[in-house]
A and B are shown apart, each in its own frame.
Chain A
Amino acid sequence: AQSVTQLDSHVSVSEGTPVLLRCNYSSSYSPSLFWYVQHPNKGLQLLLKYTSAATLVKGINGFEAEFKKSETSFHLTKPSAHMSDAAEYFCVVSDGGNEKLTFGTGTRLTIIP
């Protein structure tokens, strides 16, 4: 069985400061892990994915995430927040193939001008 926990339902940061969105996962196998972003009234867009290659994964728009097996974590970071980063972010885990995804409950990111 697989599961994912997003540790913060809401994060607020000032524009230009670092962003940290936290995610812990549970998986019986070597997992694939993803971060998706959802802007208001839109679908989900893939930010980045981890599939057992490099543990530090770089994604779009300056985001990156580090896979830490010992901590079962896959936290999302960005060095400097931009107003356009305001959105909801979902951490997602999949055992083996990518056809069965389990979503976290989401973290809403607010950027303070």
Chain B
Amino acid sequence: DAGITQSPRHKVTETGTPVTLRCHQTENHRYMYWYRQDPGHGLRLIHYSYGVKDTDKGEVSDGYSVSRSKTEDFLLTLESATSSQTSVYFCAAGGRESQPQHFGDGTRLSIL
């Protein structure tokens, strides 16, 4: 939706390994976001970006880092994955100037 692509769509990895998830948008939105979705919690904001190289923490940022070197790409990195980070991760873009946020289709991440 709204030109947002997440990769990979599924990933299984082991505890302690680094993981990077990629979000790519084609709509030139200034704002981009990473959320995680867990049963009983809805979506919770991990980090967001308000421009190239400009990022800020969300509600559940511990254990995650982000980078944005280009307008169209927003990367989420788990430096050393833990089982508690098993979740579905959603990227979104938009959310300013009366524009609602639009979401990608998600990445299902399992950490064993």
Chain A interface residues toward B at CB < 8 A: 34, 36, 41-46, 49, 51, 90, 97-101, 103-106
7 A-B pairs in the complex with CB atoms less than 8 angstroms apart: A98-B100, A98-B101, A99-B48, A100-B45, A101-B45, A105-B40, A105-B42
Distance between Cα atoms of A90 and B43 in the complex (Å): 9
- With A44-B90, A101-B95 as contacts: A106 and B106 at CB distance below 8 Å: no
State whether B42 touches A103 (Cβ < 8 A). Answer: yes
Contact A103 B44 (CB under 8 A): yes
- Distance in Å: Cβ of B93 to nearest Cβ of chain A: 11
B12 to chain A: closest CB distance in Å? 16
What residues on B are CB-neighbors of A98 within 8 Å? 94-96, 98-101
A42→B103 CA distance, assembly (Å): 9
Chain B contacts of A49 at CB under 8 A?
100
Does B105 interact with chain A (Cβ within 8 Å)? yes
Asked if B50 CB lies within 8 Å of chain A CBs, one says yes
Nearest chain-A residue to B31 (Cβ)?
Answer: A99
Contact A106 B95 (CB under 8 A): no
Contacts of A104 in B (CB 8 A): 42
